[in-house]
Amino acid sequence: MAEVPSETNVREKPVEQIDTVVIRFAGDSGDGMQLTGTQFTNESAVAGNDIATLPDYPAEIRAPAGTLAGVSGFQVNFSQGRVFTPGDRPDVLVVMNPAALSVNIADLRDGGILVADSDAFTLANIRKAGMDGDPLADASLNKRVRVYSVPLTRMTTDSISDMGLPNKTMVRCKNFFALGLCSWMFNRPIEQTLTWIESKFAKSPALVEANTRVFKAGWNFGETTEVFVHTYEVKPADIEPGTYTNMTGNRALALGLMAAASKAGKSMFFGSYPITPASDILHELAAHKNFDVTTFQGEDEIAAVCSAIGASFGGALGVTASSGPGIALKGEALGLAVITELPLVVVNVQRGGPSTGLPTKTEQADLMQAFFGRNGESPLAIVAPATPVECFDMAFEAVHVALKYMVPVMILSDGYLANGAQPWKIPDYDELPDISVRYWKGDLGFHPYLRNEDTLSRPWVIPGTPGFEHRIGGLEKDYDSGDISYDPANHERMTRVRAEKIERVSEDLNPLCVEGSELGELLMVGWGSTYGALAQATEELNAEGLATGHLQLRWLNPLPVEELKRIFARYKTIVVPELNMGQLVRILRERLLVDAIPVSRVQGQPFKVGELKARVKAIVEEGR
């Protein structure tokens, strides 16, 4: 077997320089495509590219093999420029079977590269994917894209046939052949992958050897065969100096919560119930019990949030996380946190709804739920990170707000942020700000609803504090004594105070930042994970001559109404693209009396930049 050249070796084949590449790996859910994509992403990050990823997998863990329902995909965009999105259409599509081809081929751009495991294109598999005849031999396909039929399974088993492994085990290594081939094709540094294989399969030396050999075989296949005439290179991006790591939104949230709790000197209590796509937050936190983090897997979503409220009552930082259906179940308890004015952080990693909906797909349709999804007047502070790495910063801010104002804060993430990865410039923990927690220092005249004049927060006096024994609860309390009160005027006063507390959070928030044109034809207003698509579209629209501004809101409650009015006045048309049927746009129309126009998409997928631009341009045209 030929030696794999190291990065410094002179390559045998010519290298073509390109700016940016979008590659999608697709196969059966058992084919290891998520792993292949993730590892390719890591190689690209190490190569210094800017990256964005989009994992796309079915809700079924193992749908019947070879079926359309079982297709799992992972897309990564890597570039020497700035990357905002995982890309609309892949330049390269790697498919492990006919079903993966059938599901994904329409997305592959004209002139793109298709790499297919020809061994998987058996008559039975082709029929299972609902096709007649071998699609790889299809003339129109071969005219549209460059097709590389590679006997990937056979070459995988050939390269390790002497190891005495069962055939099934050998075949399962084939994703490493694909990874090796693509690593060769795009000149990726491979040392990191080799090290990773060693640690990932540390328990089985045979698997380390098998996967390493298959990976190298894939590399060598590219290098030595006549099939591929040249490789591609994407130069490192111009990225701010620093140490980086690849970060998903869920992991960033977990780390941000932990760091903030620590900076506040608080134990963190995380009550949770397994739900896609939020469970990874629980997994991450459960792995760091040496950081004064208690994780509690409750019997249901209600137990999860109630235990967090109980922990906050006891003086810990209570946190709970779920996705839309789970947040619906938590609704009543969130009202309890509102009326007892306890600090609580609630993470909603949104997914397609209603009901079970699209568990593994992304959507932003829980904004109204965050604002109004509880009985009574029960405002929460609401914040939405715009990128996976921003999940760290927003989690940190959310903890700060919850502790300072004694309010529940909801963080609206979504499936796309949760599983999407991005290079994270690793912060220095020591340089993160401290979060101060105010405790009751007075003595005489204590009652549990005495308010701080600035924040209107009530004092957090925790059990164990002698002399201040008190009772709180879900019944309305008297403003002046903290006792149960059914007084009509008192209820209105307390209702207004709870709302005013949220408004006062504004004082801690950063001013809004408009990207793109500071004034002009069009302002796109977004929130949450649509940031990348909107930013990319804004760049392109401005380049095309349409003066476009882009405002991505982080804090949604409180909403800086006056500041928004000033910004909106600078543009002719206000468009609000959202992955829902128009939720933020309703809030903006109601709060600002502005004729903002919705652009909706509810397909369980992020915006495609091309489509978004076309729809926005049509709106601008119509307005002219």
Partner 1 sequence: MSGEQAKLNRKDFVSDQDVRWCPGCGDYAILAQVQRVMPELNIPRENIVFVSGIGCSSRFPYYMNTYGFHSIHGRATAVASGLKLARPDLSVWVVTGDGDGLSIGGNHLIHLLRRNLDINVLLFNNEIYGLTKGQYSPTSRMGQITKSSPLGVADHPFDTVSLALGADATFVARTVDTETRHLQAMLTRAVEHKGTSFIEILQNCPIFNDGCFEEVSGKGSRIENQLVLEHGQPLLFGPEDARMGVALGKDMSPQVVSMDSTPAEQVLLHDETNEALGFFLSRLERPEFPVPLGVIRAMDRPIYEKEVMAQAERALSEMGKPDFNKLFCGGDTWTVE
Residues numbered 185-214 forming contacts with partner 1, rule: CB under 8 A: 192, 196
- Out of 12, 132, 428, 622, point to the residue binding partner 1 (CB under 8 A): 428
Burial letters for 586-612: b for 16+ Cβ neighbours within 10 Å, e otherwise? bbbbeebebebbbbbbbebbbbbbeeb
CB of 608 to partner 1, least distance (A): 29
**Smallest distance, partner 1 to C-beta of residue 202, A:** 16
For residues 188 and 550, which CB has a smaller minimum distance to partner 1 in the complex? 188
d(CA 43, CA 193): 7
Q: Which of residues 44-63 bind partner 1 (CB under 8 A)?
A: 45-46, 48
The token pair at 49 is 């590219």
Q: 137-196: which residues touch partner 1 (CB under 8 A)?
A: 192, 196
Residues 275 to 334 in contact with partner 1, rule: CB under 8 A? 288-292, 294, 296, 298-300, 302-303, 306-311, 313-316, 318, 332-333
Q: How far is the CB of 200 from partner 1 (least distance, A)?
A: 12
Query: Of the two residues 74 and 228, which places its CB atom closer to partner 1 in the complex?
Result: 74
Tell the smallest beta-carbon distance from residue 282 to partner 1 (Å).
15
Note every long-range contact of 166-173, with CB atoms under 8 Å and residues 24 or more positions apart, other chains counting: 169/207, 169/210, 170/210, 172/32, 173/210, 173/211, 173/214
Q: Which is nearer to partner 1, 272 or 552 (CB)?
A: 272
Nearest to 390 by CA among 414, 361, 365: 414
Q: CA 352, CA 369: separation in Å to the nearest integer?
A: 13
Candidate residues 127, 470, 565, 566; the one interacting with partner 1 per rule CB under 8 A? 470
Q: How far is the CB of 36 from partner 1 (least distance, A)?
A: 16
Kindly give, in sequence order, each residue whose CB lies less than 8 Å from that of residue 85, ignoring residues fewer than 6 positions away.
52, 77, 532, 533, 536, 606, 607, 609
Question: Minimum Å distance from CB 243 to partner 1?
Answer: 5
Nearest to partner 1 of 165, 417 (CB atom): 417
Does residue 427 touch partner 1 according to CB under 8 A?
yes
Distance CA 113, CA 131 (A): 21
DSSP code at position 438: -
Please give the structure tokens belonging to residue 135: 């699609």
Nearer to partner 1, 176 or 296 (CB): 296
Q: List binders of partner 1 among 61-120 (CB under 8 A).
A: none
Applying CB under 8 A, which of residues 233, 235, 468, 476 lies at the interface with partner 1?
468
Q: How far is the CB of 236 from partner 1 (least distance, A)?
A: 8
Residue-by-residue DSSP string for 8-43: TSPPSS-EEE-SEEEEEEEEETTS-HHHHHHHHHHH
Instruction: Copy the structure tokens of residue 182.
Output: 């693509």
Considering only residues 95, 259, 410, 417, which one is a binding residue for partner 1 as defined by CB under 8 A?
259
Query: Closest Cα partner for 107 from 67, 60, 85, 75?
Result: 75
Residue 495 Cβ, how far from partner 1 at the closest point, in Å? Answer: 18
For position 472 contacting partner 1 by CB under 8 A, the verdict is: yes
Number of residues forming the site for partner 1 (CB under 8 A): 71
Element (H, E) at 490: helix 488-504
Give strand pairing partners of 408.
344
Nearer to partner 1, 171 or 432 (CB): 432
Residue 213 CB, nearest distance to partner 1 (Å)? Answer: 22
Interface pick for partner 1 out of 2, 475, 569, 614 (rule CB under 8 A): 475
Can you tell me which of 2, 69, 202, 426 binds partner 1, judged by CB under 8 A? 426
- Residues 478-497, one symbol each (x = binds partner 1 by CB under 8 A, - = not), give -----xx-------------
Q: In terms of CB distance, is 238 or 518 closer to partner 1?
A: 238
Per-residue string for binding with partner 1, 215-254, x by CB under 8 A? ---------------------x--xxxxxxxx--------
Q: 165 or 409: whose CB is closer to partner 1?
A: 409
Assess 346 for contact with partner 1 (CB under 8 A): no
When the beta carbons of 314 and 357 are compared against partner 1, the nearer one is 314
- Minimum Å distance from CB 48 to partner 1? 7
Q: In whole angstroms, give the CA distance from residue 575 to residue 522.
A: 7
Closest distance to partner 1 from the beta carbon of 312 (Å)? 8
State whether residue 283 is helix, strand or coil: helix
Comparing CB distances to partner 1, the nearer of 30 and 427 is 427
Question: Which structure tokens are listed for 469?
Answer: 């024994």
Structure tokens of 192? 């990191």
Query: Which residue has 């209702």 as its token pair?
Result: 495
Q: Which residues contact residue 513 at a Cβ distance below 8 angstroms, ignoring those fewer than 6 apart?
A: 551
CB count in 10 Å sphere of residue 242:
11
Q: How far apart are CA 390 and CA 554, in angstroms?
A: 10
Candidates 56-64, 128-136, 471-479, 495-503; binding stretch for partner 1 (CB under 8 A): 471-479
Bridge partners, 302 (sequence order)? none
What are the tokens at 228? Answer: 């591929």
Residue 286 CB burial class (10 angstroms; 0-12, 13-18, ≥19): middle
| Among 29-37, 408-416, 422-430, 574-582, the segment contacting partner 1 (CB under 8 A) | 422-430
For residue 494 the two structure tokens come to 């307390």
Residues 352-371 that bind partner 1 (CB under 8 A): none
Sole binder of partner 1 in the list 258, 384, 502, 541 (CB under 8 A): 258
- For partner 1, the binding residue among 3, 110, 453, 469 (CB under 8 A) is 469
State how far the Cα of 468 lies from the Cα of 7, in Å rounded to an integer: 67
Answer for the pair 177, 214: CB distance below 8 angstroms, yes or no: yes
